[in-house]
A = this chain, B = another copy of it.
Amino acid sequence: MLFNQKLRAIQRKDNSLVCIGLDTDIRQIPKHLLRRANPIAEFNRRIIEATKDIVCAYKLNLAFYEVLGERGWHIVHQTLDRIPENIVTIGDGKRSDIGNSAERYARLIFEDYKFDAATVNPYMGEDAVKPFLERKEQCAFVLVATSNRGAKDFQFLRVNGKPLYEKVLQKVHQWNAKKNCGVVAGTTYPRVLRRLRELSPTLPFLLPGIGAQQGDLESAVRYGCDMHGELAIISASRSILYASSDEDFSDAARDAALSLRDAINHYREKYF
């Protein structure tokens, strides 16, 4: 099944554009879990159990797992094993390197871990991105305009009258021969998001920055979705994972994810 088909199917089934970022930090999880043999895997398992019927995707930022050393690799596998087959999984590593190195990163993310999608950094150009585009069921979300303050340093610079992020988007369209490219677009700059969706009506958009990063939800929905009010993946992490630091943390995470889903669906009804 093509990535976009899988994404659309789960978004319809769960009536949800919510993606939970499993950026799990041992210092922030409930204290009672620290007595367990594998607190992070246990925390992720409980969050997934509590939310798997109300999300379209889970995203793992690989930085949070690599820093754990050899255990990190295991925890990624254990976590992915808990995620139902029909939910989209995103390996958020923002990798980029020349061909033979990029091939290795792609193999790690797509063949070893078996994520449905990866995030990749475009700065090194086509041959650094291409190894992530060889599997038509698996998607590469290219960083086009990110949600952080530093995005302005280079992404917003004007090249022949157009911002660099539009140049990147043009290339993404050229790289999309197998229909497996996606766009990472921050939600902190609504006008940018609006422009990107205008230029790219059918690609899936990964939208981080909701929650702790204070992106604007209404414009994320209005401008992030395709014409059917779908194919936007709205990712939140800390605001869901750490909604409570007590034993009820997974219930609180479910409540936070449900609130987000409902707020998103309110705007979907308004605009689509």
On whether the beta carbons of A128 and B150 are closer than 8 Å, the reply is: yes
Chain B contacts for A95, CB-based, 8 A: 63, 94
Chain B contacts for A129, CB-based, 8 A: 150
Partner of A63, one of B102, B152, B153: B102
Q: How big is chain A's contact interface, by range?
A: 35 or more
On whether the beta carbons of B105 and A125 are closer than 8 Å, the reply is: no
**Is A121 located at the chain interface by the 8 A CB criterion?**
yes
On whether the beta carbons of B153 and A125 are closer than 8 Å, the reply is: yes
Chain B contacts for A121, CB-based, 8 A: 94, 96, 121, 123-124
**Which residues from 89 to 148 on chain A have a C-beta closer than 8 Å to any C-beta of chain B?**
94-102, 104-105, 107-108, 112, 121-129, 143, 146-148
Give min CB distance, A239 to chain B, whole Å: 14
On whether the beta carbons of B67 and A108 are closer than 8 Å, the reply is: yes
Chain B contacts for A246, CB-based, 8 A: none
With known contacts A122-B154, A157-B164, A127–B98 Cβ distance under 8 A = no
**Is A242 located at the chain interface by the 8 A CB criterion?**
no
Give min CB distance, A24 to chain B, whole Å: 11
Partner of A104, one of B66, B97, B147: B66
Chain B contacts for A13, CB-based, 8 A: none
Give min CB distance, A128 to chain B, whole Å: 6
Proximity string of chain A (163-198) to chain B, C-beta cutoff 8 Å, 1 when within and 0 when not = 010011001000000000000000000000000000
The docked-state distance in angstroms from the alpha carbon of A148 to that of B213 is 34
On whether the beta carbons of A98 and B146 are closer than 8 Å, the reply is: yes
Residue of B nearest to A111 (CB): B67
Chain A residues in contact with chain B, CB under 8 A? 23, 61, 63-64, 66-67, 69-74, 94-102, 104-105, 107-108, 112, 121-129, 143, 146-155, 157-160, 164, 167-168, 171, 213
**Apart from the given pairs A123-B146, A157-B159, 17 other A-B contacts in the complex at a CB distance below 8 Å:** A23-B101, A63-B97, A63-B105, A66-B66, A69-B112, A70-B74, A96-B121, A123-B154, A125-B149, A125-B150, A125-B151, A125-B153, A126-B153, A127-B148, A127-B150, A157-B167, A159-B159
